[in-house]
Amino acid sequence: MELALASLLNGVTYGLLLFMLSSGLTLIFSMMGVLNFAHASFYMLGAYFGYVISTRVGFFPALILAPLAVGAIGAAVERFGLRRAHASGHVSELLFTFGLAIVIEEVVHVIWGKTPVPYRVPASLDGPLFTLYSSTFPTYKAFMMAVSVAMLAALYAGLTRTRAGLVIRAALSRPDMVEALGHNVPRVFMLVFGGGTALAALAGVIGGNAFITEPGMAAALGPIVFVVVVVGGLGSLAGAFIASLAIGIVQTFAVSLDYSIHGMSLSRVAPVLPYLIMVAMLIARPRGLMGTRES
């Protein structure tokens, strides 16, 4: 019981972090039709920027500044790279972001080296928040949850309640009509791409010190985020939310439970579980949980 509750809380924290990544990916995909292969690389950049800014200025400024800086890089990538690749179709865009992921990883190698950097949880958020039976729940995990939920609420309110959100949602379905009404659709795309990468960077700032900040973190998390988006249904924010939590919880439970089936412990199967879920979903319901599109 105690273990189950602790695992559940950890799983929800991890799931919310996954959702911060998959929401940006989904937003970019449903707006521009671009699958951003480099999305996890922006997550990694967020973690490294968070590390640099938090050691120079402080953690809380980093929470704002790092996503802004990464968002600006993302917007520049859209403006000067993706927009050009867009002319030759979706495959070119996907390949462009694939190449970008390689280049970003190399740049991180050069600037910060190949070993993990000492990015730590700030002292004010270090320590236990409350004790559950005999195990403690760290304050920082609660902080991570709070930031993700706040971001979620802000994203939802921004998309449904503001004028800018209205234009974004309109550009999603009828870009030509929105353009005819006098809105600059390419600029909206640029802002959405910048915004999506900034969300990924925010996840990096709060996730980098909870887990580990190293050059391999993008390659490790990227496929999981893709799995989340496929399981949730391409282009569906609600589906991505459910899938993020489900995969976060399943993976955390698999690691913490100590069962073994046919001599193979569950924790060794854990890395394969998300992919097995994806394959099962594809066989049972190819469009994903909440997906509406066929391809």
Partner 1 sequence: MRSSAWTWGASAALLVALPLVFRSGFAMSLFCQAGIVAIFALSYNMLLGQTGLLSFGHAVYYGLGALFTIHALNFAAAGWHLPVTLMPLVGAIAGLAFGIVLGYITTRRAGTTFAMISLGVGEMVAACSLMFPGFFGGEAGISANRTLGEPFLGITFGPQIQMYYLVAAWLLLATAAMYALTRTPLGRMANAVRDNPQRAQFVGYDPQWVRFMMVALSGFFAGLAGGLAALNYEIVSSESLSAYTSGLVLLATYLGGIRVFAGPIAGAIAVTLMQTVLASLTTAWPFYFGLVFLATVLFVPGGIAGIVLLHKRLWEMRLARRAAPVYARMALPVALVLVAGVLMVEMAYRASAGVSLRLAGWLLDTRSTGTWIAVVASFVAACLLCRWAWRGARPRWAEVSAAIGDAR
Binding segment for partner 1 (CB under 8 A), chosen from 64-72, 138-146, 154-162, 267-275, is 267-275
Q: Which of 185, 217, 184 is nearest to 31 (CA)?
A: 185
Nearer Cβ to partner 1, position 91 or 123?
91
269 binds partner 1 (CB under 8 A): yes
Q: SS3 for 282?
A: helix
Q: Which of 99, 116, 122, 165 binds partner 1 (CB under 8 A)?
A: 99
How far is CA 241 from each of CA 182, 202, 228, 275, rounded to the nearest angstrom?
A: 33, 17, 9, 17
Number of residues that bind partner 1 (CB under 8 A): 46
Largest CA distance in the chain: 65
Nearer Cβ to partner 1, position 50 or 233?
233
Q: Which of 60, 133, 259, 275 binds partner 1 (CB under 8 A)?
A: 275
Give how far the C-alpha of residue 276 lies from the chain's centroid of Cα atoms, to the nearest Å: 20
Nearer Cβ to partner 1, position 123 or 283?
283
Q: Which of 7, 92, 139, 256 binds partner 1 (CB under 8 A)?
A: 92
136: enclosing H helix or E strand? strand 135-138
Give least dist CB 34 to partner 1, A: 9
Q: Among residue numbers 108 through 167, which ones bind partner 1 (CB under 8 A)?
A: 109-111, 113
Binding segment for partner 1 (CB under 8 A), chosen from 124-132, 198-206, 250-258, 277-285, is 277-285
- Do you know the residue count of the chain? 295
Measured distance CA(259)–CA(3) in Å, rounded: 13
Give how far the C-alpha of residue 123 lies from the chain's centroid of Cα atoms, to the nearest Å: 25
Give least dist CB 75 to partner 1, A: 17
Nearer Cβ to partner 1, position 218 or 249?
218
CA atoms within 13 A on the CB side of 263: 0
Q: What are phi and psi of 115, to 5 degrees?
A: -100, 160
286 binds partner 1 (CB under 8 A): yes
Residue 8: count other Cβ atoms within 10 Å of its Cβ.
Answer: 13
Nearer Cβ to partner 1, position 12 or 227?
227
Residue that the structure tokens 């990096």 belong to: 204
Query: At a CB cut-off of 8 Å and minimum separation 6, what does 26 contact?
Result: 229, 232, 234, 235, 236, 237, 240
Give least dist CB 295 to partner 1, A: 5
* Interface ranges with partner 1 (CB under 8 A): 29, 33, 35, 81, 84-85, 88, 90-92, 94-96, 98-100, 102-103, 106-107, 109-111, 113, 219, 223, 226-227, 229-230, 234, 264, 268-269, 271-272, 274-276, 278-279, 282-283, 286, 294-295
